[in-house]
Chain A
């Protein structure tokens, strides 16, 4: 049963520290999405890639967040420097990128706490 994996599952850090979250999309999926979920804002799309190229990263605070896909099996989301307001659950999802009928498969998430 193919699944999206995310590491770490939990991360506690102090304000100002760099945080890197990793995602392994389902093999063969060419679209990767990063979301952030908080009680106040719900699920927010941060960025997404197709064939490793960024298509939309308008949801990310540009000064501190960056997202990359070094290769087809790894997506990273980096926060530098982290702030308490970044505390949230970060989800990665992948899909086949089929126009009109794409389904997103979500990972278990990384719960980030910034003190």
Chain B
């Protein structure tokens, strides 16, 4: 079972780059890595997904080293509105429940 480990919380200031690392030592060959963001009183929202190397979209970048045992979500120039909980998920849709385990997430607090 590909369990994930993330820091419980992180603090940052507006305008800074934030990197949140997720460890997944038992990642399987077919597993994808997906990150979600959750604001208070809302459901999680998909941010980014990747399999290897680097993925970038308009919101974030995802860095995955060659061994894929960890991944880093990078948020460029955060603002107060990026204050949220960030979850890392590892799995492959056909693995069912394993791909749908959210874990504890990382609570990011952005200060002015």
Contact = CB atoms under 8 A, between A and B. Distances in A.
A104 B46 CA distance: 7
Contacts of B97: 45, 56, 58-59
Interface stretch (B12-20, B66-74, B99-107): B99-107
A107 interface: yes
Interface string A30-45: 0001010000001101
A93 B32 contact: no
A100 B92 contact: yes
Interface string A93-107: 100011111111111
Contacts of B92: 99-100
B100 A33 contact: yes
B42 interface: yes
B112 interface: no
B103 to A, nearest CB: 7
Contacts of B36: 104
Given A42-B104, A43-B102, A107 B96 contact: no
A42 B102 contact: yes
A115 interface: no
A56 B96 contact: yes
A61 B101 CA distance: 18
A42 B105 CA distance: 9
A12 interface: no
B83 interface: no
A53 B83 CA distance: 37
A105 B30 CA distance: 22
A109 interface: yes
Nearest to B104: A42
A106 B45 contact: yes
B103 A99 contact: no
A58 B96 CA distance: 11
Nearest 8 interchain pairs by C-beta: A106-B43, A43-B102, A103-B46, A45-B100, A102-B93, A91-B43, A99-B93, A100-B92
Given A59-B97, A100-B51, 4 more contacts: A99-B93, A100-B92, A103-B46, A106-B44
